[in-house]
Chains A and B, each alone.
Chain A
Amino acid sequence: MKSIEQVWMPDPRNVVDWRADFPILGERVHDRPLVYLDNGATTQKPASVLDAEDAYYRHNNANVHRGVHLLSQRATDAFEAARARIARFINAQRPEEIVFVRGTTEAINLVAQSYARPHLKPGDEILISAMEHHSNIVPWQLVCEQTGAALKVVPIDDAGALDTDAYERLLNERTRLVAITHLANALGSINPVERIVVAAHAKGVPVLLDGAQAISHLPVDVRVIDCDFYAFSGHKVYGPTGIGALYARAALLEAMLPWQGGGDMIRSVTFEKTEYNAIPWKFEAGTPNIAGAIALGAALDYVDSIGMEVIAAHETDLLAYATDALGMIPGLRLIGTARDKASILSFVLDGVHAHDVGTILDHHGVAVRAGHHCAMPVMQRFGVPATVRASLALYNTHEDIDALIEGLGRVREIFGL
């Protein structure tokens, strides 16, 4: 008999069905079945996403917001429906609060240049954290150079968790923006984003969240979090590359200047004066990635068809299983052991460089990332040149983790450990 508690337990039958939705999981690498554990870099795509992109080009391809012909109307409808789909996925108030961008990196650069740059004066501060991806560091360094503002960094503890007391101390009357990751890509730490936002708003400071990792692992409700900007990439949530979204409160977008000039972002152009289009189109100069946006909509449909809570429960179970299994390997040290953690297992192995681990695992059919994960300050914080990172997705199984562990056994054997 089933008890109530079992409702959220992962059902091993489900993941078998989910795997069947991803054609690439049938690939073999180095004569072995593919075990894909590099989801933090990019996720694989279900057939429904591939079909959506293919069907768009086969049946509806035309430019958006332009033609009076039927195909252009279909393309425009599908493109704008995808925007509304994204708005629903993160519970934005209106579709106009979603700006299509290439990905998280472009979204953050857009905010840095269109929102922060005109606001910043010498002596102002932008607050980030010590666990950020380069894409949530460098755009702020650029804008600081342009304006004379200073970049301040909230430290993290030895487990890789944000030092929230230090965060609250660093927030001050000079702080103009807080930009922090929702889920750290090199460590897996989940930040207490609601608390971060409350503290910032108490000082009148807006908050940008880097949702590149969180978007496929945690339910994201921008109105519950109450953040001002939320950035994510389509390809990390089972959608295509080259498409992503910036969520921003409508009032902020209204007040911001365009970030690139060109077609589609204007209402009227004369040589004397150009009137900009309404939000969000004022930020979308040029022909956008129409097929990508539509396929991203299909990816979010796919995620919702399973349910983010179900996915998160499955991944939490896998993370616990993998953490225990890795813990039994002599000489292995996990980097990133925060209490609130998801989907990422970053580690080093005594006497073996991450690159060598990555090559040997690859020959075992196991795809992981080895390197600094575009988070070199995190590597410096933990005193390692690089780590091996296994990162999970909804289609991973206990067998995938077993293959990782077996592969690490092979590493130890080859290195004579």
Chain B
Amino acid sequence: MSDLRDLYQEVIFDHYRRPRNCHGLADANHKAEGYNPLCGDRITLYLRIEDGVVKEASFEGAGCAIATASASLMTEALKGKTEAEAEALFGRFHDMVTTPATGQAAAASELGKLAVLSGVREFPARVKCATLAWHTLHAALHDEDRPVSTE
């Protein structure tokens, strides 16, 4: 049985209560909005990318503990990554929260701190909370104007 403590780890509460990089970004050169119509959560993601490298990443918006912690952890992880690395990270993160636990240890180890969100895979109704920020990242990297939806 899935355990609530696997989902709500201390790191997640820490990032929920004190989200990192939770502010606007005046000199952002990429921006996208994400929306989860199931729960009404919205997020705005800001990126400053120079020479193909993410120099700054921040977000604004209200959400549940999982969505907020995921956005906070993601913005931390993005800094210093190339655009290609950021996209690859999205792929690995997506795999971690959507595929069964077996054989996931390797993938999780590459994700570092983001691995605290691996418990989400046992809670299918919450996967979209965890991936909202990442779908928004994808839109920001591709400069999509329309708000992205988790649906």
Contacts and interface: CB of A to CB of B under 8 A. Distances in A.
The judgment on whether A and B are partners is yes
A372 B40 contact: yes
B119 to A, nearest CB: 11
Contacts of A360: 4
B40 A371 contact: yes
B7 interface: yes
A353 B63 contact: yes
A353 B4 contact: no
A134 B89 CA distance: 37
A8 interface: no
Given A355-B126, A355-B129, A356-B64, A371 B4 contact: no
A108 to B, nearest CB: 21
B108 to A, nearest CB: 21
Interface in A350-374: 352-356, 359-360, 363, 370-372
Nearest to B37: A372
Interface string B67-99: 100000000000000000000000000000000
Given A30-B1, A355-B64, A359-B125, A385 B40 contact: yes
Contacts of B62: 353, 385
B28 to A, nearest CB: 24
B38 A414 contact: no
Interface in A140-168: none
Contact of A355 (B4, B8, B39): B39
Contact of B41 (A30, A376, A385, A414): A385
Interface string B41-66: 11000000000000000000011111
Nearest to B8: A414
Interface in B4-60: 4, 7-8, 13, 38-42
Range, interface on chain A: 20 to 34
Interface in A222-274: none
Interface string A104-146: 0000000000000000000000000000000000000000000
Contacts, number: 52
Interface string A375-417: 0100100000110000000000000000000000000001110
Contacts of A356: 8, 64-66
Contact of B126 (A354, A359, A376, A414): A359
Chain B interface, >50% SS class: mixed
Nearest to A384: B40
B4 to A, nearest CB: 5
A224 to B, nearest CB: 38
Nearest to A353: B64
A353 B7 CA distance: 15
A416 B13 contact: yes
B126 A386 contact: no
Contacts of B125: 359
Given A31-B1, A353-B63, A414-B4, A359 B123 contact: yes
Contact of B39 (A372, A414, A415): A372
B135 to A, nearest CB: 17
A379 B39 contact: no
A386 B66 contact: no
B97 to A, nearest CB: 14
B65 A353 contact: yes
A30 B122 CA distance: 12
Nearest to A379: B40
B147 to A, nearest CB: 14
Nearest to A355: B64
Contacts of A371: 38-40
A370 B64 CA distance: 11
A356 to B, nearest CB: 5
Contacts of A363: 4
B141 to A, nearest CB: 26
Contacts of B66: 355-356
Interface in A150-206: none
Contacts of A359: 4, 7, 123, 125-126
A353 B69 CA distance: 12
Nearest to A31: B1
B8 A376 contact: no
A386 to B, nearest CB: 5
A376 B39 CA distance: 10
A354 B39 contact: yes
A363 B64 CA distance: 17
Nearest to B68: A353
Contact of B40 (A31, A376, A414, A416): A376
Nearest to A387: B40
A386 B39 contact: yes
B3 to A, nearest CB: 9
A371 B63 CA distance: 11
Interface in A11-44: 30-31
Interface of B: 1, 4, 7-8, 13, 38-42, 62-67, 123, 125-126, 129
14 contacts: A352-B65, A354-B39, A355-B41, A355-B67, A355-B126, A356-B64, A359-B4, A370-B39, A371-B39, A371-B40, A372-B40, A385-B39, A385-B40, A416-B13
Given A353-B63, A355-B67, A359-B125, 6 more contacts: A355-B64, A359-B4, A359-B126, A385-B42, A386-B39, A415-B13
